[in-house]
Amino acid sequence: MSLTPFLRRVLMVDLVKGLSVTFHNQSEKQRVTEQYPLERPVVYERYRGQPRLKVNPETGEPLCIVCNLCALACPEQLIVVKGERNPATKRKEVVSWTYDLSRCMFCGLCAEACSTDALELTQDYEMALYSRDGMVLDQAALEHGPEPVRYAK
Amino acid sequence: MLDAIKTYLHSTVTPGEAGSQLWATVYIIVIVLGVSIAVIAMNWLERKILAHMQIRLGPMRVGPHGLLQPFADALKLLIKEDIIPRNADKLVFWSAPVVVTMTAFTTFLVVPFGRTHAVTDMNIGVLFMLGISSLGVLGIIMAGWSSNSHYPLMGSLRSSAQMVSYEVAMGLAIVCAVLMTSLNPTGTGTLSMIGIVEAQNAQGTWFIFKFFPLGFLAFVVFAIAMVAETNRAPFDLPEAESELVAGFHTEYSGFRWSLFFLAEYSAMLAVSSIAVTLWLGGWLRPFANTLSGPAWDMAFSLIPGLSFLAMAAGCFLGTVRMPKIIQMRAQAIGLGVFGALLALVGLVLLAPGVRERVEDIFWFVAKVACFMYLYIWYRGTFPRYRFDQLMKVGWKVLLPIGLGVLILTALVGMRQELLAAVIGGGR
């Protein structure tokens, strides 16, 4: 038996090393736990969460021109857009817009395909529901946008 | 009555020596309450410190920083259903937690928190503590046997085997310290807990530094054996969750289980106080030799109050740093009130009359608290030993070291007499 490993065992070097690791772990800098409802997690800038349909802030009209590109781009085919041409303005207008969140995988291809930047995936991540009923979003829900939960008594 | 109280406040001996039954009773009540509070505090500290070592937060929601968590736990345990298995031996099942708790608390009878702060000074103090605390294993075996279930039985068998093996090394280490007490002109040692601390005071050194490294080695043997003796990690085989569910208290629930919990933690406190008394100078303040003189005495006597004030300052800092939202307001106020209480205790401890009377208790408790931290630290760091490794450490490492240190201590302590005998024999 050579001397160094013997001394390491006798002086319990490995045990002391382990003790120092756990001791340094106590520092506040090491801590990663977030107290979720009280502390909001920091979401990355390009995080893809709940979808939203933008409206023209001045007129309140939807920006969507019913080009159907998003529905074509969607790999899950969960977007259904129906529109009708308005004879007066000669533009297509939305009749119904549905987005099935329960099948969405948040790939973001729909938002990329959108020709008018009307559809975006926001940074809201609180999309859990007690049943599937509320998961198919219609135009009103999409335009209203996500409603982050406020935890208060 | 008032005179009895007043006369005792200037006493220089323990109530047992003074023959004062009133004060002995008061001390017993105070110690039982104090140990219970220490166990509650340990419960919270263990969860917090262990969590921080694992980069978690630990309890945060019940009270500020989870301060009320132990009380919530205690309430939960009290209102839990108390189950006795149908095939259990009812009488033994009932008495096992009582035996464990009683033995754990009885040991505190001789623990000297200060020269006057012990229930009594027994001339066989160390022997008494060892005897009573090893009786605790009887309760564990009773619990395991009476549960009429496999896991508790195996847990209690492991526990008894472990205790028997480590008791030997522990005893040898203790004999080293007891030998060192006999290094005085009369040549007689003592087993009294107070006598041992006074011997360290008279010899001007704590026994951990005596005959370096002999005293230190004996202390290390004891420090390892005492972790095994109290069934704590990394020697917690009797309650190894991954193998034995919960070991000997698998079948216990509710209040009976909490008695086992209480007993485990008070046993930890008890063996730590043995270690502090035997090697770390009991209630003596640190640096009594190098930093001596009235000025230093004064400075050290201020430390208890100042440390409480520092803890209070920590609480106030926590209050300021609490998130400024409406849901946390109650917690912030609670932490502030707790800090104010600590500050009050600190100010009381700074008062001259109280200061001199309580300083020794503070040093003793501070040293025991270091051991409690070590227990948690070990638990947060070391994985559990296998049973054969445990036996190997006990019999093949600690026992020979303990024996060797004992013999060397005796030789070094008797060196002058031995030399004289050799020289005298040569003539």
At B349-374, the pLDDT tens digits run: 888 777 777 888 888 899 999 999 99
Query: How far is B372 from B49, CA to CA, in rounded Å?
Result: 11
Is A21 an 8 Å CB contact of chain B? yes
Could you tell me which residues come within 8 angstroms of residue B120 by beta carbon, excluding any fewer than 6 positions away? Answer: B14, B15, B16, B17, B24, B109, B110
Is A30 an 8 Å CB contact of chain B? yes
Q: Which residues of A, range 108-147, sit inside 8 Å of B by Cβ? A: none
CB contact under 8 A, A33 and B55: yes
pLDDT digits over A88-124, tens only? 888 888 888 899 988 899 998 999 999 888 888 888 8
Query: β-strands A119-121, A51-53: how paired?
Result: antiparallel
pLDDT digits over B210-244, tens only? 877 888 888 999 999 989 888 888 888 777 667 77
pLDDT at res. A148: 67
User: Does the N-terminal peptide bond of residue B234 adopt cis geometry, omega within 30 degrees of 0?
Assistant: yes
Assess whether pLDDT exceeds 60 at residue A153.
no
Residue B325 carries which side chain, given as an amino acid letter?
Answer: I
**DSSP character at residue A28:** G
CB-facing half-sphere around the CA of B370: CA atoms within 13 A: 11
Query: How far is B102 from B262, CA to CA, in rounded Å?
Result: 10
Contact B308, B77 (CB under 8 A): no
Contact B152, B251 (CB under 8 A): yes
CB contact under 8 A, B380 and A22: yes
**A19 to A14, B281, B331, B348, B360: CA distances (angstroms):** 9, 25, 33, 37, 30
Question: Considering only CB atoms, which chain A residues are within 8 Å of B224?
Answer: none
CB contact under 8 A, B57 and A35: yes
pTM of this structure: 0.81
Shortest alpha-carbon distance between residue B336 and chain A (Å): 20
H or E segment and range at residue B167? helix B150-181
Question: Considering only CB atoms, which chain B residues are within 8 Å of A32?
Answer: 55
- Nearest by CB to residue B55, choosing from A31, A38, A153, is A31
Is B21 an 8 Å CB contact of chain A? no
Query: Two tokens at B214?
Result: 């002999």
Contact B227, B272 (CB under 8 A): no
Query: How far is A110 from B413, CA to CA, in rounded Å?
Result: 87
Shortest alpha-carbon distance between residue A16 and chain B (Å): 10
Burial profile B307-328: b = 16 or more Cβ within 10 angstroms, e = fewer: ebbeebeebbebbeebeeeeee
Query: Two tokens at B421?
Result: 């005998």
CB contact under 8 A, A31 and B328: no
Question: Considering only CB atoms, which chain B residues are within 8 Å of A26?
Answer: 49, 52-53
The percent of residues above 70 in pLDDT, for chain B, comes to 96
The percent of residues above 70 in pLDDT, for chain A, comes to 95
CB contact under 8 A, A35 and B377: no
